[in-house]
Amino acid sequence: MLWVVVALCILVALTALVLSIPVDLGLRAVVHGRASAYIRVEWLFGRVGKTYRTGERAEESERSHAGKQKKGRVAEKKKRTPGVVASARSKGRLVWALVRLPGLWHHVIRFVISVVRCIRVRVLHVDFRVDLGDPVDTAMIVGGVSQAAMMTSMWSSHTFRVMPSFLGDAILDGETSMAFRLRPICVVPPVLRFVFSTATLRAIVVLVRYRWGKDS
């Protein structure tokens, strides 16, 4: 019995240690005529990571799948039957039942706020050149945003720079980079509070009843 307790304590300690290792998320978006984005997710202080890119490759994949998506939409239109319409209505009633649950949205908002508080912003850099096409609109709107960004940059450790452009064409040119850090162990208490709250349990009961009614 003692060995079981010792093994459980070791397991809990190792789990807490693993969850204490931060997860880093880096995002860089560039707009120079064509938008592209770079997302980097790292764990174990950069030892383990995965990179996601969007832009030219994403556009090529979209072009390659354009015909398949078009065929899929045509097939979906052909498959529309009264049964599908009834299923959509049933799902609508389910959503309405979840919305009407007392306290559910309060717990959802509280959960989101708790998770956001666990995220630490390490780097935030914004540098864009904007032209709305009309010099008057550009001067009034972008000029005001530029002043606000400059004041924010002066009182913040991050960099914000939005400059108006008066070339006569509507353009958005520049880049932004962000880096965030999250310790998974910080998210555990909010998740447990949300999962075992009364409102969440009521939502689970509604979902189970909907599923049983659908199967029967």
Kindly report the number of other CB atoms within 10 A of residue 131's CB atom: 20
**Pairing mode, strands 34-43 and 23-32:** antiparallel
- Quick one: pLDDT at residue 98? 80
Give the ranges where the chain is alpha helix by DSSP (H): 2-20, 56-78, 82-99, 104-117, 135-137, 143-154, 184-195, 198-215
What tens digit of pLDDT does each residue of 18-56 get? 899 999 999 999 988 788 899 999 988 888 899 998 865
Task: Give the whole-number percent of the chain exceeding pLDDT 70.
Answer: 82
Our CA dihedral for 76, 78, 83, 87, rounded to 10 degrees, sits at 20
Residue 199 contacts residue 102 (beta carbons within 8 Å)? yes
Q: Is 170 helix (H, G, I), strand (E, B) or coil?
A: coil
Q: Residue 210 corresponds to which tokens in the numbers above?
A: 């909907």
Q: What is the pLDDT of residue 89?
A: 72
What per-residue confidence (pLDDT) applies to 167? 83
DSSP lists the bridge partners of residue 14 as none
φ/ψ region of 26 (left if φ > 0, alpha if ψ in -120 to 50, else beta) reads beta
3-state SS of 48-107 is: EEEEEEECHHHHHHHHHHHHHHHHHHHHHHHCCCHHHHHHHHHHHHHHHHHHCCCCHHHH
pLDDT at 63 > cutoff 90: no
Bridge partners (DSSP) of residue 180 are 25, 121
pLDDT digits (tens, 9 = 90+) for 123-173: 999 999 999 888 888 889 998 999 999 998 888 889 999 999 888 788 889
Cα–Cα distance for residue pair 192/204, rounded to 1 Å: 15
Give Cα separations from 113 to 68, 99, 116, 156, 197 (angstroms).
40, 19, 5, 22, 16
